[in-house]
Amino acid sequence: MVVTYVSGFLLAVPTANKDAYRKQAEEAWPMFKGYGAVAMVEGWGDDVPQGKVNCINSAVKRKPDETAMFSWVVWPDKKTSDEAEQKMMADMEGKEFPEMPFDGKRMIVGGFETIVGDATVKTGYIDGTVIPVPADKRGAYTAASHKMAELFQEFGAISVVDAWGDNLPEGKVNDFHTATLRKPEEAVVFSWINWKDKATRDAGWEKIMEDPRMQEFGPHTVGADMGRMIFGSFVPLVDV
């Protein structure tokens, strides 16, 4: 496992602004790289279901003409991420922020430490999840996630990444706390499964759901509330 630090994002973008968002993200990458980032992925919603309790759509307050996104920036470590944030704020002081092709007030952001997998692996098709987990179950959750990752890779996944919430600021409109209906004793885990393509993903999931090992070490075995897990499938819009 390559231990890195991840800035995770959930947001909603007007579907008509897809190309404008891609262009802005691609132009922003040299800046992030200059501050020390090692990878960036922008995942465009392909199949983001509505939930009975909560979901990614409700988390970002998605409108009918918008598409939900699951994105991240990878840093070598927390120190580099923290320093980059300070430098960005200092560099932007006194300047006008560029106009965004989406509502930035509804963007959810947080910092996460990777506990499973390599966050720098190139993506093909993404299953993204965010789930609340009892904070005192980090060790047990990590062990279970390693076993889960082995199972998914056995059935075609390229990589599986789990990242444990480290810095989750409260937002004025929404945040990772409200997204998962987090309780005081819980942490938040930001995760994704990387597949070669959608067809491989569909075939892999069919086999995984039939495998009895799924019941042995799933997140529910460490007290994670699966009913509040939010998830969706995404196509990489930008992967650098």
Q: Is residue 87 part of a domain?
A: yes
pTM: 0.95
Question: SS3 for 142?
Answer: helix
213 pLDDT higher than 90:
no
Q: Is residue 233 part of a domain?
A: yes
How does pLDDT run across 136-176, given as a tens digit for each residue?
999 999 999 999 999 999 999 999 999 999 999 999 999 99
Q: Is residue 209 part of a domain?
A: yes
Give the domain extent around 128.
5-92+105-239
Q: Within the chain, how many helices (H) and strands (E) appear?
A: 6, 8
Q: Is residue 234 part of a domain?
A: yes
How does pLDDT run across 114-127, given as a tens digit for each residue?
999 999 999 999 99
Average the pLDDT over 177-187 and give the result. 98
95 pLDDT higher than 90:
no
Q: How many CA atoms lie within 13 A of 150 on its CB side?
A: 7
Q: Is residue 98 part of a domain?
A: no
104 pLDDT higher than 90:
yes
State the total domains in the chain: 1
Q: How many CA atoms lie within 13 A of 202 on its CB side?
A: 4
Q: Is residue 97 part of a domain?
A: no
pLDDT at 3: 81
Q: Is residue 99 part of a domain?
A: no
Nearby residues of 61 by Cβ (< 8 Å), 6 or more positions away: 12, 106, 173, 174
Residue with the bigger pLDDT between 92 and 72: it is: 72
Average pLDDT for the chain? 95
Question: Residue 50 CB: number of other CB atoms within 10 A?
Answer: 10
Indicate which CATH number applies to the domain containing 188.
3.30.70.100
1 pLDDT higher than 80:
no
How does pLDDT run across 33-74, given as a tens digit for each residue?
999 999 999 999 999 999 999 999 999 999 999 999 999 999
Tokens of 6: 């991840």
Q: Is residue 140 part of a domain?
A: yes
Average the pLDDT over 212-240 and give the result. 88
Least confident of 10-14, 65-69, 223-227, 234-238: 223-227
Question: Residue 15 CB: number of other CB atoms within 10 A?
Answer: 14
